[in-house]
Structure 1
Amino acid sequence: MLEELEIRSLGPIRHAVVNPARGMTAITGETGAGKSMLLNALRLISGGAVPARTVSEGDREAWAQGVFDIAPGGTVDAIARDAGAELGDDGLFLSRTLPAQGRSRAVLNGRSVPRAVLRDLTDELIAIHGQADQLRMASPARQREFLDSYADDAAELDDYRAAWKRLNDCDAKLRAIVEQESETTQRADYLRESIERIDRTAPHDGEDAELKAMRDRIENSAAIMQGVGGALAALDPGQMGVDSETGGAMAMIEQAIHSLQSIGMKGTYAETAERLSSVETELSDIVFTLGGLLEQEDGEGDLDQINGRIHELDELARRWGPTLADVIAWREKAGYELEDLDASPERVAKLTRERDEAHTSAREAAERLGKRRRDAAAELADHVTKELESLAMAGARLDIEVDRRDGLDAHGGDDIRFLFTAFPGAPSLPMGKSASGGELSRLMLALELSAAQKGFSSVSGQDMTFVFDEVDAGVGGRTAAELGRRLARLAENAQVIVVTHLAQVAAWADAQFVVSKRADESDADAVRTTVDEVRGEAREREIARMLDGGETDTSLTHARELLDACHS
């Protein structure tokens, strides 16, 4: 939402600050006073084309800045961050300097940015509907987006996009097989041979480390067996086939136990014998473990076979590693790729069937989407046509064509066109080519009102600012009041700024600014243009001037009555 618009040296306006209301704001003033410069200022901060001749005479450059209140976390926030700017508590500052000679300079929150960034941001924030700004909805893409929003067809769109993606994936696979058959065959052969090599070796994760640890034990087996054998000989010589006078530690402990037990007395002697029994049990377990280690070392495996296996695994790791886990992962991925590259007739036939099924699904999804669009098009066209009738355009009509076409694209299978008939007997032509600026402004108002009824707007942002110029051209009387009422209705859910010369429209506004010419206090021969907000009696006088060009008692009374009626 636009909180402030500041202008310097733009046309006849040397300096002005406008703080629009959150609802509806009217910009009024006599013809030629410079109201169009406010629109030029908005175009300037929107990254639009503004001729250098609009720089005030004698000044080197014009400058405009818009301050917007933006909710964090939305599309605008993302665009600003991508451009390197941070949104602070003070909002979004968009400014642009237009020199009398040379290139303009765009600034976002104090940071210089390309002009296109301003355009991307304001596309989400502001929509100007004037004679020079109607191309927005003249675009077929904009018309399709508007109709889809009105139709609330997000579910059908999602279904179609998923089907379209599947169709494109199938097409890409078939195209790769047909167009790159030689390269594909070479790649498939390589993958097939690599997979066979890996499968023949059949590694498992960590096998190389296990084998290397085994090899270390084998290479040190002599020392291991000597140490383990010596320990067994000391504990139980019989385990090693050695004769000993003492019988080893096990026999000596057993002899000690028998000696203590032979005393035949309880107490210390018996307790000591029990403790020695525990030692004997522990030593017996140790002897068993050492015996197992000797058997393991004796049957560890052939060192040549182990080294050969390690070499094979190292070769795999060198080519597809660096680790065996990487080799195994590569083999799995290669298997999937090989399936995709298989150019055999059976594979091609299978992909062709999948492609045909995907095309059928996409066509069916496009039909469902198209039906939703056609139903919405009829409803939208009828609603807009009724709105146009209430805006003094009886006989004007909007037709929305949703035509099936043979091919599909990313957006469905429909050609969508908004056709406008400005008056009875006039040709039905595409928007932007069939009416004056005022008629198109009213058409856009009718579209925005229809959109608001469905809870959206012609642009995607929230808290949008809509600017209408020439919307009251050729309107008067009761129709003017109805036009003001509809602008005020749109302003219930969005910010609306209207440039108008009709009191019946301006009276509906929540705030009113007057653009006027007056003598320059510093130079009696010069005239300067000011932009001032009018309230209370000042606003009554401006409404009275708009009613009959003066401030008579009658016009002032009428102005008060008009303002009261619009805000009661």
Structure 2
Amino acid sequence: MLDELEIRNLGPIRHAVLATGAGMTAITGETGAGKSMLLDALRLVSGAAVQSGRASSAAQQDIWAQAVFAVQEDSAAYALAKDAGTTDEDGELYLTRSIPAHGRSRALLNGHTVPRAVLKDISEQMVTIHGQSDQMRMASAARQREFLDRFAEDGEELARYTQAWDALRAIDGKLKALDGEQAATRAQATYLRESIERIDAVEPHAGEDEELKSRRDRIENAAAIAHGVASALTALDPSQMDVDAQHPGALSLIDDAARSLEDINIREVFGESAQTLKSLSQEISDVVFTLSGQIDEEDSAADLDTINGRIHELDELTKRWGPSLSDVLAWRDKAENDMQDMDASPERLASLRAERDDLYRRALTAADALSHARQEAAGRLGRHVGEELGALAMRGSKLDVVVSSRHRGAGESEGILDAHGCDDIEFLFTAFPGSPRLPMGKSASGGELSRLMLALELVAADRSTTGHEGASNDGVFIFDEVDAGVGGKAAVELGRRLALLAKSAQVIVVTHLPQVASWADTQFVVSKGMSAAGDAGSDSDAGAAADEGDQVQGIETIVEEVQGVEREREIARMLAGSESETSLRHARELLQSSHIPRA
């Protein structure tokens, strides 16, 4: 909901603050007073491009506009703001545009500079402007399809079709890669297959090369190793070498020393030392056992050629697919998976095409279900909109929602599906009986198109209030020129219809009809006033000029909320152009009769 709109130096508006509330807000005033500038301000904070000439040419001051919106934490706008990195402002979003007299504009969200596109994306989730230019976006086929899908509540059918379409696109991409690049694909598949065969022929295992290099080092240093091990064993336990040594080994001497201490039979003094020597003897025995095994397992020099040959084979693998054997084995597993996807053999292609045909049939079935839901909803939408148009002084006007399925009678030919199904959707508007049925936007005036958009929003809002997912019930709808060519009872009905829409959404309407303004919960009046001497200068909209040599007094636009007696005077002015007793009495009667109880 729009809580507040503040404007500075936009056209004839020097400074204005609109504290809008829930329900319906009417903006009234004389023609040329600058009511459209309020919509321009909303467009600016919604990320619209800057149009030249908006600031007063004399003032040359910075244009500044800010809109404050109240949002729920589970809303799409809040999620987009969070993604943009803004901080939480107690459930409020501040959308700001600052446009200097010279230089580039700045877009801010909650005080932080953001790209203009961020304001556009966020505002699109909250604000719908139905002005002469804005509502033309609804004339696009994409917007019409989205509106019909929301009205049809075909979310499940649309999700099923989207899933089928994505699967179809994925297999089409795989077939295109195989069909369109068969030579390159076959070459790559051949390379992968030959590489896998080469790796499999060697049959490496992780860490094997390091083990072999360690063995090779041992063989190349066999003499030094044998001498060292033999000398160590001779010193520790000569019996391990099958020689009669002239001197006992260290192990024997330590055992003798331990026994000598135990023979003293004074455990309190020598027991601990004897135990230490026995432990040392056990550790030396372990060393002797290990060294003896080294001599038994020692590779012969004859094995060196075999080991070097194996190391060479493994090195060739690691040079191409390494750096380690673990990397080689990982590459081999990945290559096997890739090769299956790149298999362009006739059998593989036939299998993929059969799978593709099955996915295509599934997508067609899902598209037909979606199309059926759209067809059924299209008729209901057209009837409901026609009823609303009749109440909006457009009796005889009608909207035909045409859903043309490209699948009807076309068999299973290619090219009938796209990302959104198999339908061409078009909103065709008949302005009056006998007039041609033309695409929406080409057959209606600005006022007629505004009322058509109001009818669409009313139908969607009615669906929302009856428990369906039509229009959002927390959005902001802004209508401009919706009352063009309307008067009398039709004007009253137009105001009542806007008030009905305001029960489920915030509505802001720019109007010159008292029968419409009287239904509003809040009313602002836009009027012309004189600025201080020498303040912001002339403005083309004001049409004021000062004689040469005189002190300039500019005409500016003033925006004020009216309540009570002031509102009665404004309604009286709109009724009769004056504030006579008769017009004031009529104004009071109109305000009293224009009331819809709020839920």
Scaled by the length of structure 2, the TM-score of the pair is 0.81
Aligned partner of 2:97 in structure 1 is 95
Aligned partner of 2:547 in structure 1 is none
Query: Number of aligned pairs?
Result: 563
Aligned partner of 1:434 in structure 2 is 443
Does residue 1:400 correspond to 2:401, yes or no? Answer: yes
1:293/1:3 CA distance change after superposition, 3 Å: same
Structure 1, 482-491 or 70-79: larger mean CA deviation? 70-79
Equivalent residues of 1:52, 1:98 under 8 A apart: no
Does residue 1:515 correspond to 2:506, yes or no? Answer: no
Q: Distance between the aligned counterparts of 1:443 and 1:56, measured in 2?
A: 35
Aligned partner of 1:23 in structure 2 is 23
Name the amino acid aligned to 2:429: F
Aligned partner of 2:536 in structure 1 is none
Name the amino acid aligned to 1:467: I
Identity of aligned residues (%): 55
Query: Secondary structure, in 3 states, of the residue corresponding to 1:409?
Result: coil
Q: Distance between the aligned counterparts of 2:260 and 2:94, measured in 1?
A: 99
Q: Distance between the aligned counterparts of 1:134 and 1:437, measured in 2?
A: 9
Aligned partner of 1:171 in structure 2 is 172
Name the amino acid aligned to 1:490: L
Structure 1, 182-191 or 301-310: larger mean CA deviation? 301-310
1:40-79 matches, cutoff 5 A: 40-48=40-48, 52=52, 56=56, 58=58, 60=60, 63-69=63-69, 71=71
> Which of 446, 449, 453 is equivalent to 2:458?
449
1:228-267 matches, cutoff 5 A: 228-244=229-245, 248-252=249-253
Aligned partner of 1:127 in structure 2 is 128
Equivalent residues of 2:7, 2:66 under 8 A apart: no
1:70-469 matches, cutoff 5 A: 71=71, 86=86, 89=89, 91-95=93-97, 97=99, 105=105, 107-108=107-108, 119-244=120-245, 248-252=249-253, 281-298=282-299, 302-406=303-407, 407-452=416-461, 453-454=463-464, 463-469=474-480
Equivalent residues of 2:141, 2:425 under 8 A apart: yes
Deviation at 1:247, TM superposition (A): 5.0
Aligned partner of 1:473 in structure 2 is 484
Structure 1, 305-314 or 10-19: larger mean CA deviation? 10-19
1:356/1:276 CA distance change after superposition, 3 Å: same
Does residue 1:531 correspond to 2:526, yes or no? Answer: no
Equivalent residues of 2:95, 2:119 under 8 A apart: no
1:103/1:235 CA distance change after superposition, 3 Å: closer
Q: Distance between the aligned counterparts of 2:125 and 2:254, measured in 1?
A: 94
Q: Distance between the aligned counterparts of 1:469 and 1:443, measured in 2?
A: 12
Deviation at 1:415, TM superposition (A): 1.0
- Deviations 1:475-525, CA, capped at 9 Å, x for gaps: 445544443333234334433210112233223323211012345564798
Name the amino acid aligned to 1:426: S
Q: Distance between the aligned counterparts of 1:4 and 1:396, measured in 2?
A: 37
Deviation at 1:534, TM superposition (A): 1.2
Name the amino acid aligned to 2:438: L
Q: Distance between the aligned counterparts of 2:189 and 2:267, measured in 1?
A: 85
Scaled by the length of structure 1, the TM-score of the pair is 0.85
Deviation at 1:131, TM superposition (A): 2.4
> Which of 479, 492, 495 is equivalent to 2:506?
495
1:525/1:223 CA distance change after superposition, 3 Å: closer
Name the amino acid aligned to 2:21: A
Aligned partner of 2:573 in structure 1 is 545
1:257/1:205 CA distance change after superposition, 3 Å: closer
Structure 2 residue runs of 5 or longer lacking an equivalent are: 408-415, 534-550
Q: Distance between the aligned counterparts of 1:231 and 1:123, measured in 2?
A: 87
Deviation at 1:431, TM superposition (A): 1.3
Structure 1, 396-405 or 297-306: larger mean CA deviation? 297-306
Deviation at 1:141, TM superposition (A): 0.5
Q: Distance between the aligned counterparts of 1:212 and 1:73, measured in 2?
A: 64
Equivalent residues of 1:3, 1:66 under 8 A apart: no
Aligned partner of 2:38 in structure 1 is 38
Equivalent residues of 1:105, 1:112 under 8 A apart: no
Q: Distance between the aligned counterparts of 2:401 and 2:516, measured in 1?
A: 29
Query: Secondary structure, in 3 states, of the residue corresponding to 1:424?
Result: coil
Q: Distance between the aligned counterparts of 1:265 and 1:312, measured in 2?
A: 67
Query: Secondary structure, in 3 states, of the residue corresponding to 2:443?
Result: coil
Structure 1, 244-253 or 435-444: larger mean CA deviation? 244-253
1:325/1:276 CA distance change after superposition, 3 Å: closer
> Which of 502, 505, 522 is equivalent to 2:516?
505
Query: Secondary structure, in 3 states, of the residue corresponding to 1:501?
Result: coil
CA RMSD of aligned residues (A): 3.8
1:56/1:285 CA distance change after superposition, 3 Å: closer
Query: Secondary structure, in 3 states, of the residue corresponding to 1:302?
Result: helix
Structure 1, 168-177 or 273-282: larger mean CA deviation? 273-282
Q: Distance between the aligned counterparts of 1:273 and 1:34, measured in 2?
A: 112
Deviation at 1:180, TM superposition (A): 1.9
